[in-house]
Amino acid sequence: MRRFVLEGALFAGLWAVLTEGTPASWVVGGPAVILALLLSRRLAPTGCWVFRGLALAWFIPWFFVQSLRAGLDVAGRALRPDPRLAPEVLDYRLRLPPGPARCFFMLVISLIPGTLTAAAIGDDRLLVHVLDRTQDNHGDLRDLERRVADVFGLPLAEAAEGAEGASSC
């Protein structure tokens, strides 16, 4: 019930910001907030997104720095006459258990410029497209996965030997 009330307050607050608090807008906003709340309940993932506050507080600035660094790298490549691309599709073995943490990990990969979650294969593999195979992409993914595990307070499973490979595109 508490989560329901908090989400309702969030949606109502968002509506108030978007409409600059105009009272007449609630004729449409009231039903829209209720509909958004009901849809969020219906479409919500089955797992619970529980974050560890301190780990999340450390993750957010780290993520922004990584995004800025990667964005500058991609922009630099795009502006060069010879962009020095060496794309690759990595076959990455996941160590996070299935659920919200794994979903979050896959979303964050796609938010960092120059990387894209291409596909999830089976229960423990992920195909990730990267722009430069000469970088330590597996190491970067392992570091990100460890940080996501910290945010969710989860242990990481050990990846099977020889599980990580790559195929060039």
Residue 54: the pLDDT is 87
pLDDT at 157 over 90: no
Q: Which of 83, 78, 69 is nearest to 140 (CA)?
A: 69
User: How many beta carbons lie within 10 A of that of residue 82, not counting itself?
Assistant: 6
Neighbours of 154 (CB within 10 A): 18
pTM: 0.68
Q: At what angle do helices 137-152 and 100-111 cross, to 10 degrees?
A: 140
User: Residue ranges of the domains in the chain?
Assistant: 2-43, 53-168
Assign 159 a pLDDT band (cuts: 50, 70, 90): low
Residue with more model confidence, 169 or 23: 23
Assess contact for 132 and 114: CB atoms under 8 A: yes
Average pLDDT in the 13-35 region?
90
| Lowest-confidence region among 3-7, 91-95, 141-145 | 3-7
Q: Determine the 3-state secondary structure of 115 from DSSP.
A: strand
**Placement of tokens 């570091």 in the chain:** 143
